[in-house]
């Protein structure tokens, strides 16, 4: 059976591996893209912050802005589609 110390060492190594993998996966991408991607995978704000080296509050803020932007884009796309439909009808 594994001791608590061994377990902690293993967890630290896994955390490091996750951070290195994330750094490679998000190379050339914005922090916001990384946050949204990890969020879509089911990671929580605290976990994402730990992986990307930021705060949970910042992660929450980025997710909030992304959600608002996505909602706004959806509404714009919907309005453009309705205008397009009216143009086709005329």
Q: How buried is residue 51: exposed, middle or buried, by Cβ count under 10 Å (0-12/13-18/19+)?
A: buried
User: What pLDDT digit, counting tens, does each position of 38-89 carry?
Assistant: 999 899 999 999 989 899 999 999 999 999 888 776 666 665 565 555 544 4
Q: At what angle do helices 56-89 and 31-40 cross, to 10 degrees?
A: 90
Q: Where are the domains of the chain?
A: 4-71
Vertex 45, ends 55 and 27: CA angle to 5°? Answer: 75
Q: Is 29 helix (H, G, I), strand (E, B) or coil?
A: coil
Predicted local confidence at residue 90, as pLDDT: 45
């Amino acid at each position: 059976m594994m001791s608590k110390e061994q377990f902690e060492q293993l967890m630290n190594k896994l955390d490091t591996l996750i951070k290195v993998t994330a750094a490679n996966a998000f190379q050339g991408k914005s922090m916001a893209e990384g946050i949204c991607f990890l969020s879509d995978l089911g990671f929580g704000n605290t976990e994402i912050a730990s992986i990307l080296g930021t705060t949970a509050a910042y992660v929450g803020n980025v997710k909030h802005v992304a959600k608002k932007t996505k909602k706004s884009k959806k509404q714009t796309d919907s309005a453009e589609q309705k205008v397009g439909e009216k143009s086709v009808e005329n």
